[in-house]
């Protein structure tokens, strides 16, 4: 017998599953993540690794560089 779950509870449970999956993915070394992403993909693991490294580099640059006017004034 299945119970009716309130929408908010279902969304919270789904969000928890996605957050845990995202954390596991983000904890992988870049090469391993690229190899896993290359399975059944038209891109090679090398191409995906290059893309991931570029994205990591951009994200690091955005974290270190203040972009908002309020951040620059502070």
Boundaries of every domain in the chain: 19-73
Contact indicator for 52, 30 with CB cutoff of 8 Å: yes
28-68 pLDDT tens trace: 999 999 999 999 999 999 999 999 999 999 988 888 776 66
Percent of residues, the chain, with pLDDT higher than 70: 86
Rounded CA-CA distance 44/47 in Å is 5
Q: Is the pTM of this model over 0.75?
A: no
68: Cα within 13 Å, side-chain hemisphere: 4
Q: Which residue has the higher pLDDT, 3 or 16?
A: 16
Report the chain's terminal Cα–Cα distance, integer Å. Answer: 58
54: Cα within 13 Å, side-chain hemisphere: 6
Rounded CA-CA distance 48/57 in Å is 14
């Amino acid at each position: 017998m299945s119970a009716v779950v309130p929408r908010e509870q279902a969304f919270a449970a789904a969000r928890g599953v996605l957050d845990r999956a995202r954390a596991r993915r983000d904890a992988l070394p870049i090469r391993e993540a690229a190899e896993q992403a290359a399975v059944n993909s038209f891109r090679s693991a090398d191409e995906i690794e290059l893309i991931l490294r570029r994205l990591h580099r951009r994200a690091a640059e955005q974290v270190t560089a203040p972009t908002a006017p309020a951040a620059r004034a502070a």
